Amino acid sequence: MARKLALLLVAAVALCFGCSIAPPGQPQPTASTAAAVDANPAIAVYDSNSPKVVNINTLALVRTSSGVAAQPQGVGTGFLFDTDGHIVTNDHVVQDANQLLVTFKDGTATPGELAGRDPYLDLAVIHVDRLPGGVQPVTLGDSDRLRIGQTALAIGSPLGLQQTLTQGIVSAVRLPDQDPSSGAIDLPAGAIQTDASINPGNSGGPLFDSAGNVIGVNTAILSQSGGSQGIGFAIPINVVKRVVPDLIQYGIFRHPQLGIAGLPLATIGRQTRQQLGIPSDLEQGVLVLQVSGGAQQAGIQPGSMSGQPGGQPTLTLGDIVVALDGRAVGTPGQIIAYIEGNKRPGDSVTVTLVRNGQRTDVPVTLGERPQQP
């Protein structure tokens, strides 16, 4: 191993001398080469935004023989949201933490207080009383205008390595019910998939575009080993814009709830559809199986599904939801995405149903999703 290492070092030295002493007639590196490197937009994004990205250390209070002590619990990332000292991060970063320590790029370390959290979307806000001089909030982009293939840059503290920059692209924008993890990751509609290296410690950090605008909040990786495998996910910044002001003002975000659980028609076989009497020309919709809250009060009628585990389920026909406010829906995820993205608890939504082969519109007053502890 030592001989192999020595050979590698010798090769490196040889390459180095080859760069500084070129044979006659060979071109030497020019200033334009360095200029081209400095023109890399990632450098400008990092230089202008790294002071706005913070390292978050979480501490848990543990009882010891001499009393109570603060024990390191975990590490994450966050970014400055406004000039009042509010920092956005992930809920799972601050969950169960008794104390928070926020450290800026210049080394300024200050205690943080939890201002609000939303476990459903994995978002949280920390407040600090003291900011380093000259540090300004990040600039928020528009995640609705993302294009597959555009540059994505993450700044964070992967594995505790503060102020680390990684670069990749926007690999996909996940659609409702398009989560590849089969339920292992709870992601909102429009979640950003990226191959920029995301590791434990990046959680809560910003994902930038090449102009230095924040387009998402890094939240999860899809991995079989626990490390980065080129599949990371970020909460779209337009969701953050909607939720964070409420977390700052109220400490929580009130999620609307229609009160319907069901099965996409696309998953029901032709023979079963015929047996249930589902119109042959009805290609998409959600067969209602359970109702609660506003949907129940509005008289939406559920069907049922029964059967033994591993066996063929038996369905009975209920109402079929085909549209919300005139917008077609075909999956439960599309229903949730529309309600979450456009409504508040107490708002009304027009639910278009197919009942006994006939379309009908039913107004429903939305309830509120229960708050998670």
Q: Is the domain of 218 the same as that of 263? A: no
Containing 226, the helix (H) or strand (E) segment is: none
CB under 8 Å to 241, separation ≥6 — which residues?
A: 140
Residue 15 inside a domain? The answer is no
Containing 6, the helix (H) or strand (E) segment is: helix 2-20
The position carrying tokens 């575009």 is 209
* Cα–Cα distance, 218 to 196 (Å, whole number): 10
pLDDT of residue 10 exceeding 90, the answer is no
Q: Is the domain of 176 the same as that of 267? A: no
> Looking at residue 353, which CATH number applies to its domain?
2.30.42.10
pLDDT (tens digit, 9 = 90+) per residue, 40-97?
889 999 999 999 999 999 988 777 767 766 777 889 999 999 999 999 999 999 998 9
Residue 315 inside a domain? The answer is yes
* Cα–Cα distance, 312 to 132 (Å, whole number): 63
Q: Is the domain of 355 the same as that of 269? A: yes
* Cα–Cα distance, 123 to 118 (Å, whole number): 5
Q: Output 96 or 205, whichever has higher pLDDT.
A: 205
Which residues are known catalytic residues?
92, 122, 203
Q: Is the domain of 363 the same as that of 267? A: yes
Q: Is the domain of 71 the same as that of 163? A: no
The whole-number pLDDT of residue 208 equals: 98
Whether 331 and 309 have beta carbons less than 8 Å apart is answered as: no
pLDDT (tens digit, 9 = 90+) per residue, 124-169?
999 999 999 999 999 999 999 999 999 999 999 998 899 999 999 9
CA distances (Å), 207 to each of 44, 144, 204, 240, 241, in order? 15, 14, 9, 12, 14
Token pair in block for residue 104: 């800026």
Q: Is the domain of 267 the same as that of 305? A: yes
Whether 293 and 259 have beta carbons less than 8 Å apart is answered as: yes
Cα torsion 157, 161, 167, 169 to 10°: value is -40
| DSSP letter assigned to residue 158 | G
The whole-number pLDDT of residue 308 equals: 57
pLDDT of residue 278 exceeding 60, the answer is yes
The whole-number pLDDT of residue 6 equals: 34
Whether 91 and 74 have beta carbons less than 8 Å apart is answered as: no
Residue 134 inside a domain? The answer is no
pLDDT (tens digit, 9 = 90+) per residue, 335-355?
999 999 999 999 999 999 999
pLDDT (tens digit, 9 = 90+) per residue, 257-276?
999 999 999 999 999 899 99
Q: Is the domain of 262 the same as that of 364? A: yes
Residue 19 inside a domain? The answer is no
Domain boundary among 180, 208, 240: 240
Token pair in block for residue 258: 């229609």
pLDDT of residue 5 exceeding 90, the answer is no
Token pair in block for residue 343: 């409504």
What is the percent of the chain where pLDDT is above 90? Answer: 66
* Cα–Cα distance, 142 to 144 (Å, whole number): 5
Q: Is the domain of 168 the same as that of 216? A: yes
* Cα–Cα distance, 196 to 23 (Å, whole number): 40
- Count of domains observed in the chain: 3
Q: Is the domain of 123 the same as that of 207? A: no
Residue 343 inside a domain? The answer is yes
The position carrying tokens 């410690």 is 201
Token pair in block for residue 161: 């390595």
Domain range for residue 182? 139-240
CB under 8 Å to 18, separation ≥6 — which residues?
A: none
Q: Is the domain of 109 the same as that of 159? A: no
Query: Of the given ranges (27-31, 157-161, 215-219, 332-336), which has the lowest mean pLDDT?
Result: 27-31
**Mean pLDDT (the chain, rounded):** 86
Task: Give the CA count within 13 Å in the CB-facing half-sphere of 237.
Answer: 20
> Looking at residue 96, which CATH number applies to its domain?
2.40.10.10
Domain boundary among 214, 240, 266: 240
What is the per-residue DSSP string for 76-139? EEEEE-STT-EEEE-HHHHTT-SEEEEE-TTS-EEEEEEEEEETTTTEEEEE-S---TT--PPE
Residue 196 inside a domain? The answer is yes
pTM summary value: 0.82
Whether 66 and 91 have beta carbons less than 8 Å apart is answered as: no
Domain boundary among 60, 94, 127: 127
Query: Per 3-state DSSP, what percentage of the chain is helix, strand, and coil (rounded to 5)?
Result: 25, 35, 40
CA distances (Å), 297 to each of 41, 70, 127, 176, 328, in order? 55, 50, 40, 26, 23
Nearest to 328 by CA among 353, 310, 309: 353
Beta partners for residue 236, in sequence order: 216
Q: Is the domain of 113 the same as that of 152? A: no
pLDDT of residue 111 exceeding 50, the answer is yes
pLDDT of residue 23 exceeding 80, the answer is no
Q: Is the domain of 109 the same as that of 171? A: no
Residue 169 inside a domain? The answer is yes
Q: Is 373 exposed, middle or buried (0-12, 13-18, 19+ CB in 10 A)?
A: exposed
Residue 246 inside a domain? The answer is no
